[in-house]
Structure 1
Amino acid sequence: MMKCFVLLSAVLALGAAQESFKCPDDYGFYPHSKSCDKYWKCEDAKAELKTCGNGLAFDASDPKYLTENCDYLHNVECGDRTQIEPAISTPHCPRLYGIFADEAKCDVFWNCWDGESSRYQCSPGLAYDRESRVCMWADQVPECRNDEVAGGFSCPAAGEIANSGTFSRHAHPDDCRKYYICLEGVAREYGCPIGTVFKIGDSDGTGNCEDPEDVPGW
């Protein structure tokens, strides 16, 4: 029994030593030595261990240690601070805070804040890229399925349209404001500005966004 008590005391003492921190100054915010989402808040030279929200990490870039800032994990350079709290998830949010791709639609992503998700959709022809975390051309996003690129629209075969040059424009089958541009056989979806619609040109593969009054059949 005594041996168990001594062992438990040693473990607790080791844990306390690992969590101890001596403030370098009376006031400041200092990174944890091992954890990227923990930091020390010093006030009157007394240290308090703090933890960022789930999905955030402590930004230790302030050389004066006067800034208390938890930012998205992908925005923080953790370095040797490799430890992080286990994920807490909610619908559309793998962690409570962060920007995450939709699992079903490649042009949709979610901004999560404290577990509350807000849905965003890329502009026509674009898809959300998980690595760069921006909307890019759908054909340049590996996670985007082929049937989602330009809605499955296929460009005409090379030489099928006379005098089309390196690109051609094509009307969307369902939406008058949208159209496709085919560039070297790759279809990309575009959208006309609000208040205009796509008008098919006089020759195959041409057209422009025009006022609806100037588009026959509108």
Structure 2
Amino acid sequence: MNRFLFFALLVTIATSQKFQCPNNKNAQYEDAEQCDKYYDCQDGVVKEKLCPDGLVFDQSIRRFNKCDQPFNVDCGDRTELQPPKGTNDFCPRRNGFFAHPDSTICDLFYQCVDGESVENRCAAGLHFDEYSGTCVWPATANREGCKEDEKKLKDGFKCPAEKNKNDANGQIVAHPHFSHPEDCQKFYVCLNGIEPRELACGAGEVFNDETKRCDNPENVAGCEDWFKDADKN
């Protein structure tokens, strides 16, 4: 037998022997120091195992596979991890959710499964947070150096920097609506207050800037004859 393999086998046996299966119970148990290492006890025989790279062990999970995403597991003092086996800059470990390697790009993130990455984009106005594995508001993510591209439509419309508030209760409107300066039927929506979209009311209706809804033309000053004039053209 190769000396190196023989030595590795001795180390594995010695490590496993340190952990004793409680009452010969068939179960899996966490390592005291390494969060992605665990011990599998079957009929009193213990085997030392590792979660897939990027996942960590959670003994509280009832299903047989107890390896989960780090943001779902409280490792406590089990701070050690196996050496990373990442495949590229997008997958620093083979499994998990990771921010874009360029720290100025905060709305893109990658889901890695066995070293294969899939690019995802957060909804408008949100940043990816590796600690929670989700997209959150920039103030919650608290990431520095994020570069926000100016979002502007072809006609030059862009969402106002000042937050739009509801006149009735003073709360910030999540997706404010704005009238089109030239077309009564069209209007703009700012998703999460920053991502502009051009939309249009249905046939026979125009946008009412007071109610922020589509309405009958006779209820909107200046648009009463909008469809009558359109028929003439």
TM more than 0.5 = yes
Contact 1:96 1:114 in 2 (8 A): yes
1-structure distance, mates of 2:187, 2:108: 20
Aligned pairs for 1:172-191 (under 5 A) are: 179-180=189-190, 187-189=193-195
The Cα shift of 1:112 comes to 0.9
Aligned pairs for 1:8-47 (under 5 A) are: 17-20=14-17, 21-24=19-22, 25-47=24-46
Distance 1:209-1:95 versus aligned 2 partners, 3 A rule: farther
Unaligned runs of 5+ in 2: 1-6, 153-157, 181-185, 216-225
2-structure distance, mates of 1:96, 1:27: 29
Distance 1:202-1:42 versus aligned 2 partners, 3 A rule: closer
CA-to-aligned-CA distance 1:85-133 (integer Å, 9 cap, x gap): 1222223112111111223432222111111111222223333233333
The Cα shift of 1:54 comes to 0.8
TM-score by length of 2: 0.60
Amino acid at match of 2:70: L
Unaligned runs of 5+ in 1: 1-8
CA-to-aligned-CA distance 1:113-169 (integer Å, 9 cap, x gap): 111111222223333233333223456543373534x737462679xx9x9846653
The Cα shift of 1:44 comes to 2.0
2-structure distance, mates of 1:90, 1:177: 46
Distance 1:177-1:51 versus aligned 2 partners, 3 A rule: farther
Aligned pairs for 1:32-111 (under 5 A) are: 32-61=31-60, 67-91=64-88, 92-104=90-102, 105-111=105-111
Distance 1:82-1:169 versus aligned 2 partners, 3 A rule: same
Contact 1:111 1:118 in 2 (8 A): yes
Query: Identity of counterpart residues, as a percentage?
Result: 30
Distance 1:40-1:115 versus aligned 2 partners, 3 A rule: same
1-structure distance, mates of 2:124, 2:166: 23
Which has a greater percent of strand? 1
Distance 1:66-1:133 versus aligned 2 partners, 3 A rule: closer
Contact 1:29 1:68 in 2 (8 A): no
Contact 2:58 2:73 in 1 (8 A): yes
Contact 2:71 2:132 in 1 (8 A): no
2-structure distance, mates of 1:132, 1:209: 39
Please name the residue that 1:155 is paired with.
Answer: 160
The Cα shift of 1:47 comes to 0.8
The Cα shift of 1:76 comes to 1.6
Please name the residue that 2:142 is paired with.
Answer: 142
Contact 2:94 2:115 in 1 (8 A): yes
